[in-house]
Amino acid sequence: MIGKLLRLSSVRRLSSGKKQLHTIISQEIIKPSSPTPSHLYTYNLSSVDQLAPKAYMAIVLFYPNNENCTLTSQEKARVLKESLSQTLTRYYPFAGRMSSPISPYVNCNDEGVVFVEVRINNNLEKYLHLSELDNTLDCLFTNDLVNYKSPCNTSLVGVQFNHFDCGGLGVAVSMSHIIGDGSTLGSFLGHWALVARYGSADHQDVIPYIPHFIQFPCTKSNNVESRARKVDQKNFVSEKFVFPNSKLSELNKMVDIDINPSRVDVLTSLLYKAAAKAAATRSGCFTTSYIIIMVNMRNKLEKKLPQSTFGNISTIVMVPTDKHTSETPLSKVVEDIKKTISKELEGIQNVQQIGEYIKASRSKVLKRGNLNKVVNGTYWCSSLCGFNYSKLDFGWGKPIGINIALRSTHKNGFMLFDTLNGDGIEALVLLEKCY
């Protein structure tokens, strides 16, 4: 059942300076269509969940004004709410609350998910290619969740449905990293879109997206209450680059065939190599570099898990590379990264061991002596490739673009995701400015 409508007594307008950004139409709490069974009232977080960043993953999907769709804006909003209600029955922890930001479990009490409907006083095109460092993006997301200044928020998911002046739409979702990784977010969006399109969570095309849960024992909290760090926008710049498959194929030919790299492997290495060279050029000297790779472990455990497995089933691998990284052949950079990841993750059989590996890795970094030197020479890379965002059709067509708000993160890094036409990879690059 959809939660009680919390209509605002008057339409509230938010502005930036003299220019009005958006108007809140309504705000609701969407609850699961069926109550969560009593034996599922408590969802214990894994050791990996508890070590996850205290930040929200925020993504917005843009949809053009589809003249072939007969639904009005109000009907589309109704479809989203009803299908979200059904989806939350399957993804029941999303509708729960944490008793505190460092709680080792989620109270699956069906309190629901915030759903805000907003009128944006601009056309959709204005937001398609914005830098993630542009504060204009903030108006597309629920303020209380995407805001890194809210470390005490115990809600796990929030949704904002944006109506643009041109008739286009934006579906924005904020998900706490404590409850899941990029794969969890992708599976949730896929399930929700299918339920919206077919009208039922029991449809045959929806069933494959049913989440797979692992039952974890209740443990003493490993969480540390900390405020997520925000990048100083004045010192950083972000840009998006598109790499067509044809160019990625050319890059693959530059790499030893025995390594058998993926498109993501090669592009990650290229971006890392280029960034290290830029840093060396600026400083006038070469220093040891590090790259942190986010690795989805679902297919790497002894007993492979479905991609729909709920939670943080991922880890990070910190790869130290030669001090002359920028001068090293691309093939060697790819090889070093792949070999290190394979060696580091060898023997990890389950989620508990993933947590143990993450703790051990952090200890190694702290013991390096000069932590600031390590951190300042570090780049991160995360990939959302393969999550089929281009197919997220809620019933009015496929998206024409996505944007990601990395409101709090480490400096110097790359976020990769498939282009919506399927012909390449789009890279969101965040780097420190060169002066």
Residues 275, 385: Cα–Cα separation, whole Å: 21
Given the residues 134, 212, 393, 410, the one annotated as active site = 393
Output the six-digit token pair for 202.
């029991």
Active site residue 22: no
Residues 57, 182: Cα–Cα separation, whole Å: 8
Work out the end-to-end distance of the chain between its first and last CA atoms, rounded to an integer number of angstroms: 56
Residues 347, 188: Cα–Cα separation, whole Å: 30
CB 127 within 8 A of CB 170: yes
- Reduce the DSSP state of residue 281 to 3 states and report it: helix
CB 399 within 8 A of CB 131: no
CB 241 within 8 A of CB 419: no
Measure the CA angle with vertex 45, ends 88 and 148; round to 5°: 75
Q: Residue 257 to residues 96, 248, 291, 322: CA-CA distances in angstroms?
A: 48, 14, 23, 22
CB 264 within 8 A of CB 425: yes
Could you say which DSSP state residue 155 is in?
B
Residues 374, 376: Cα–Cα separation, whole Å: 6
CB 225 within 8 A of CB 151: yes
Residues 210, 185: Cα–Cα separation, whole Å: 13
Active site residue 203: no
Q: What is the DSSP string of 306-345?
A: -TTB-S--EEEEEEEE-TTGGGS-HHHHHHHHHHHHHHHH
Given the residues 163, 177, 336, 418, the one annotated as active site = 177
Pick the closest to residue 286 from 295, 276, 294, 296 (CA basis): 276
The amino acid occupying position 176 is S
Annotated active-site positions, please?
Answer: 177, 393
